Structure 1
Amino acid sequence: MPSHQTDPAMPDLSRRAFASGLSLGILGGGVLPLVTSAGSATAAPAAGQTSAPAAAAAAAPAASVTPLAQIRIGRFTVTAVTDGYADMPYTFFPGRTAAQVEQAAVAQFVARPSGVRFVFNQYLIEDGTRRILLDTGPAGSIGQTGALPQALGAIGLRRDQIDAVIVTHMHEDHLGGLVVGGQNNYPNAELFIDRRDVTHWTDPAKRAGAPEYLQNSFRMSAAVAKLYPRLQAIDGEREVAPGISIVDLTGHTPGHIGVRIADAGQSLIMVSDMLFPVVHPQATDVGFVFEQDRAAAQSMRDRFFSRAASEGALIAATHMPFPGLGRIVADRGQMRWQVTDWAWQS
């Protein structure tokens, strides 16, 4: 991408900006290394969902396939599922003009009139004793979403069977599923959220001074604090279960975290909003409008991308094309995203 930087004006995040047709069906049936799974359930709004824009829901055809993909990391089974998607206008990426972002999307054959497509990937971690979910998606508050309960149902799970939820940060597209319908949707789950994010997103003064496009995140964060008595505000990098540890990735939000799972010499790093499609990992200086500390977010990308490339780290990224699993590789001096090989391994 060109290196010229131009910060766009802060956008009006209207629901109409995210509206487009649901097309999850084309994503099902993929095979990831070690273990695979494909589901065939209809993706529909979550029970009790009231916040999805009616016009978008009416325009969206029903999905015929629920995309699922699994990978083994030692004793852990990690299942990638998705709550749906939203298209982010080309103006949402400070550091480049809208024309430059669109040009990059055209070059990658993923350009859409409505912008850059963000998938909302969630990851279920199972070790035979506990089921831990990483994030819960926007659940209809943004774009064509609300499919996570059906995705869990496709592998025989209900939300009340989840033992813990790790929330990587308190933006609405990562915690909406916790409180959609104004209720505790994961009643038996412990919640792990970085204390810095809990402090920020439940602060009435911060909420009063925040722009309109962040108000949903503040409202949902307040609901999470009220409805989940088992919320644990955690501090720093720590192990939350054997083999599952928190990674500090602050910048995108004050308490933005990732999750590392490791066993038997294998590991997977779930990096949440460290990576965005089209613009990353090629250009670390390109941000996203929701980032609260752009300098810190860029600094984190500078450090993380180069280290991940040198170590060949396997990564899971929330907004990369489903299932969001791949590696950052250095290719003739440029960083690029290498999708994990979709093939059976003997």
Structure 2
Amino acid sequence: MSQLSRRAFVGALPLGLGGVSLLGGGLIGGASTPALAATHEVAKTPATFTPLAQIRIGRFTVTALTDGYADMPYDYFPGRTAAEVEQAAVAQFTARPSGVRFLFNQYLIEDGAHRILIDAGAAGSIGQTGALPQALGTLGVQPDQIDAVIVTHMHQDHMGGLVLGGKNNYPEAELYIDRRDVKHWTDPAKRSGAADYLQTSFQMAEEVVRLYPKLQAIDGEREIVPGVFIVDLTGHTPGHIGVRVEDGGQSLIMVSDMLFPVVHPGATDVFFLFEQDPVAAKAMRDRFFPRAASEGALIAATHMPFPGLGRVVADRGQLRWQVADWALQN
């Protein structure tokens, strides 16, 4: 496993958010391994809320969107008891009767020449999801106007929108996925030995490969377009990646599933049921969180409360998540 590159943190914005605007309405509101369908709310209709938030990073506009939410059972966090996780969720106001409230945040990067979408949401396959197309429509953006989709890893909540209805839903987009994830999630032997709750991800991965002829299985860190970089964050899955946007002395790192509500960044020894390699995931967090705190890196995280923007900060010897300050644009 490659070491986390220092390039992930170069140019981190040290104070505040540059210029940020909040658009639209706000949101309301030893583990067991049962099948996914039996434990998560399954949406019968797409979510209908479309909150949006924007931040400027140099010449880039980054818009936080959401596909919806799901409540993850309290026993989905190996490393802590369900009671401990619930207690932490209550203290952080993310507790719901059926579990910890997880958001599914996606991020649209625009610079006037390119539209790049980070992940495509669960699209109704988990919880109350399916709102991403509506959120894009609120911006006046149609799926066929997306130039590239970067899939941070091949779990169903990050790629479901790509193949909803058995179709290529982003027909003009180049698709970027780390080669290690493509290999893992299309391996018949891996699928046959996987738990029931991972089978949807394996199925969707096969559909992605079949439906997207512009798929680029990439290796390691690279620049997608000027100022947009792939960051290696392997651990959560074999090819888990992040995305760094950098321009004008400012930067934002989208870290996908490096951070989960309630347990991170305070405890790197707490995992999530879907993680393929807990040892590697812990090792990456052990490296990433302290460096993020020391560099003051501005971070966007998929499952943190909307819009998922914040920093890892050191507080009396402990690391914690600090929601980023907001400032309305003129």
TM-score norm. by structure 1 comes to: 0.85
1:329 and 2:329 matched: no
Q: Partner amino acid for 1:224?
A: V
Partner SS for 1:117: strand
- Letter in structure 1 aligned against 2:258: M
Question: Structure 2 regions of 5+ residues with no counterpart?
Answer: 1-29
- Cα distance in 1 between the residues matched to 2:62 and 2:156: 23
Q: 1:79 to 1:53 in 2, by over 3 A?
A: closer
Match of 1:12 in 2: 34
Map of 1:81-160 to 2, 5 A cutoff? 81-160=65-144
Distance 2:95 2:130 in 1: 24
Q: 1:15·1:143 contact (CA, 8 Å) conserved in 2?
A: no
Contact 1:193 1:232 in 2 (8 A): yes
Q: 1:17 deviation in Å?
A: 2.3
Residue 287, structure 1, aligned to residue 257, structure 2 = no
Q: Is the 8 A contact 1:18 1:87 kept in 2?
A: yes
Q: Is the 8 A contact 1:15 1:53 kept in 2?
A: no
CA displacement at 1:106 relative to structure 2: 1.6
**Displacement of 1:15 after TM fit?**
2.6
> Per the alignment, do residues 345 and 336 of structure 1 end up closer, same or farther by CA in structure 2, a change over 3 Å counting?
farther
| Displacement after TM superposition at 1:13 (Å) | 3.3
Kindly provide the CA deviation profile for residues 103-151 of structure 1, in whole angstroms up to 9, marking residues without a partner as x.
1112223221111111000000001101000000010000000000000
CA deviations 1:179-225 (Å, max 9, x no partner) are 01000000000000000000111111111111111110000000000
RMSD over aligned Cα, in angstroms?
Answer: 1.3
Aligned residues: 301
Partner of residue 184, structure 2:
200
* Per-residue Cα deviation, 1:310-335 (whole angstroms, up to 9, x for no partner): 00000000000000001011111111
Residue identity in the other structure for 2:31: P
Q: Distance in 2 between matches of 1:195 and 1:313?
A: 27
Q: Distance in 2 between matches of 1:279 and 1:310?
A: 20
CA distance, structure 2, for counterparts of residue 148 and residue 13 of structure 1 = 25
Alignment of 1:312 with 2:296, yes or no, is yes
Question: Which amino acid letter does the alignment assign opposite residue 17 of structure 1?
Answer: T
Q: Which runs of 5+ in 1 are unaligned?
A: 1-6, 20-51
Give the ranges of 4+ consecutive aligned residues of structure 1 lying more than 6 Å apart after TM superposition: none
The structure, 1 or 2, with the larger RCO (C-alpha pairs under 8 Å, 6+ apart) is 2
Distance (whole Å) between structure 2 residues aligned to residue 14 and residue 260 of structure 1: 31
Q: Is the 8 A contact 1:201 1:218 kept in 2?
A: yes
Q: Counterparts in 2 of 1:28-39, with a 5 A limit? A: none
Q: One-letter code of the match for 1:257?
A: I
User: CA offset at residue 345 of structure 1?
Assistant: 5.8
Separation (CA, whole Å) in 2 of partners of 1:340 and 1:97: 30
- Contact in 1 for aligned 2:153/2:181 (Cα 8 Å): yes
Correspondent of 1:183 among 148, 158, 167: 167
- Find the counterpart in structure 2 of residue 229 from structure 1: 213
